[in-house]
Amino acid sequence: MSLKPAGKLCAALLVVSTLAGCAGAPGMASSTSNAVLVEGPPISDIVTPFDEALACLNGRIQRRLVFSVGAVVDQTGKESFTDGGVGKFITQGAGDMIQSALFKAGTTVVNRRDPRVMTVEAEWRIRDTSRQVPSNFYITGSINSLDFIPGSGAEVEVAGIGPRYRQNRLLIGMDLAMTDANTGVIVANVPLQKQIFASEAGIGLGRFFSETLVSGDIGGREREAIHFALRQMVNLATFELLTQVMGVGEYAECRSHIDRAHGYVDNTKTAKAIADAKLPPRRAVSPANAGGRLPATSPAAQRAAAAPPGMPASQAGMARSSGTTPASTTPASAQGDDDFKSASGNFPGANGTGTDTSAQAKAQAILQAN
């Protein structure tokens, strides 16, 4: 018997046994068995650099005021469905991110993102829609630009060995607005943009050793997570919208929690108001005020001291200004414009000086707890 056919048979058996062994690799199994699933990092909640500033607004915005989120659409027009495309480049859930940001700020939020359940129950006559709480303010807007910025790089090779580096960027833009639901007047607006950074670096080798070519390449790529960056934009924009209709003394401390390394807004009325007010920098919390207690001289502490037992300070401020009971004890069907009659007349201007009768000033007046 020739050894040549025997060698071919051994090679064939080796290939078959190797392929059979691959069935035990992660994600692979026989046709009658379940594949072993690979387990990655654990699930966690989402935290952004702007959460602290949003949480600081909790208690500074009256709970009687009701916020909702309307359409926040992707108007970039960028999508890819062919040649292995991933579909839409931008998330279609920016409105839900805004809703989460409002909730983190301690506002009263009603669901207008999906009214289908309420609509069906109303059609079935098992839901009284007159008991639905109406919105005082709602947020709308769009993600309206996604530009691909050409990148650059460099590569050097000497005797078949050398490093390489290149980078490129995306530019995302969005515009959000907050509208007074009673009048349709836009009372706050903010445009934001963010550059998404991506880079690649590595080193390659390709040389002949005698008559044998040896080649290798080691490198890595990194890119900011687009949708996490978008969530950060949404959180900063929501903070800006809320503070544009608040007095500068109410939000200045919260704004100081925003690190400029993560984001900034320098060309809006809030930035100008802080610059004009020339407020001192935020002081460190003393041991006497540790554990979450507010300084006795802070506006929030004064409101809390004036609130009746069991009533949140923000509700107490609204109750004092309107002469009505807190929202928690007033049925939605009984609420009316009289609940907010304090939001008419002359009010301090946006920069804390003078008087203003504009819709923005009225919104500012009812947002601030008295």
Where does residue 198 rank: exposed (0-12), middle (13-18), buried (19+ CB within 10 A)? middle
User: What is the Rg, in whole angstroms, of the alpha carbon atoms belonging to the chain?
Assistant: 30
Strand ranges for 6-136 from DSSP E: 66-74, 79-80, 87-88, 108-109
Measuring CA to CA, which residue among 96, 110, 114, 97 is closest to residue 138? 110
pLDDT (0 to 100) of residue 9: 63
Residues 336-346 have pLDDT tens digits of 444 433 333 34
Task: Find residue 213's DSSP bridge partners.
Answer: 208
How many angstroms separate the CA atoms of 342 and 345, rounded? 8
Residues 270-300 have pLDDT tens digits of 988 888 887 654 444 433 333 333 343 444 4
Lowest-pLDDT range of 19-23, 154-158, 226-230: 19-23
Lowest-pLDDT range of 155-164, 239-248, 332-341, 351-360: 332-341
DSSP 344-355: SS-EE-TTSSSE
Q: Enter the CATH code of domain 41-284+294-331+342-367.
A: 3.40.50.10610
> What residues does each domain of the chain span?
1-40, 41-284+294-331+342-367
Measuring CA to CA, which residue among 231, 367, 203, 229 is closest to residue 299? 367
Task: Find residue 311's DSSP bridge partners.
Answer: none
Task: Find residue 289's DSSP bridge partners.
Answer: none
Rounded to two decimals, what is the model's pTM?
0.69
Give start and end residues of each alpha helix (H) in 146-247: 226-243
Lowest-pLDDT range of 91-100, 109-118, 212-221, 291-300: 291-300
Q: Which two tokens stand for residue 299?
A: 């506006």
